[in-house]
Structure 1
Amino acid sequence: MTRGLWVTFEGGDGTGKTTQATRLETWLREQGRTVVRTREPGGTEVGVLIRDIVLHHRGEVSPRAEALLYAADRAQHVATLVRPALARGEVVIQDRYFDSSVAYQGAGRVLDAEQVRDLSMWATEGALPDLTVLLDLDPATARRRLDAADKPFDRLEAEKSEFHERVRSAFLALAAADPARFLVLDAALPADELAVAVRARLHHVLS
């Protein structure tokens, strides 16, 4: 394993993306790989500012403005962090990428999903991960997990159940359309089982 590798984790809020990303990072470091953990939005200094707007701004942010802000964050993130890390032969493990924009802004905000995707592809010059792990979970179960965490909801987490149902359906549709890139896992399974499944698929990608 000497070439760069890019793995993204997708899914609704409360599906366990951070847990699985952390487990994968630990395993890869044990294999001697250099790992870069990052997220969208907020993986760069510019991204931190954008994250505060799109997730925590108290005033109204229109759906199209929201989509453009995410694309701006993504352009900066890929150009200044992801591509350089991959060029150095490192592993990038990332919480969310453009699939989230297609699901959240395209389906959730009821914008044109194809236009949202095209915007991200233009912003990143067509950059695609080697593997995208989709952690799928019923939104009602995910909401109970978020409630148990006892933390304030951000703007997207606070949306109504209908919003999150549209987001889930969009993620599943994206995965069905690109099975070579996606690994879809039932996020209700034990964390250890999910981690094993991710590692198995990663071996397949590398081979």
Structure 2
Amino acid sequence: MKFQNLLFFSIFLMGCNTTPPVKVIDPRPATELALIKKFHVSDSLFTSESNEIKKKEVYDKQKTELEKFIIDALPAEVKEWHAIVYKIEVDDYIEVTLLIPESGSLNENDKYPQYDNIVLFSNESLNDSPVKTSLKELSKGDQVLVTGSFEKDEIGNPYLDSNMDDLGNRNGFIFSNPKINFKIKSITKQEVSNK
């Protein structure tokens, strides 16, 4: 009897000593996470449809909803979104490509990360400006905090396209690999801590 009581008491104590589950908090702004989720849902709806006619209808509806979401639900200026510098090239302007990974970080084994993430694309002036000064300090792979706004076309829709268009692909990649034209107001390198 003493053994049973001791066993029961030991099990009871073990149950009391369990630590509560750890909740992982994503430090990215809620607006950034909402956009990532919206693209993920649109991509899921599009890829799950097997009928080509319905797939086209899903594409049209989801693209319209995404454009409306960017215009209506997101603020005119997004602040301190977390991104990763993919490339900075100079021609007649400074071409900046930033990646917003769904998980918050790039997959190290991904050979073509520009085709698996949301892409913010920006053309910046070569004239001296605070943005140009900040861009001089950045390199490929740097984690940054970016503030700015989505550029719109002549009818007020955001420039939303597939980053795969350069390869001749269309439609559904707009959800899994979108490219959005973005005007950078400020960009700063994020210090990464090694915990």
| Bigger Rg, structure 1 or 2 | 2
Higher RCO (CA < 8 A, seq sep 6+): 1
Between Structure 1 and Structure 2, the one with more strand by share is 2
Question: Under a length normalisation based on structure 2, what TM-score does the superposition of the two structures give?
Answer: 0.29
Question: Under a length normalisation based on structure 1, what TM-score does the superposition of the two structures give?
Answer: 0.27
Between Structure 1 and Structure 2, the one with more helix by share is 1
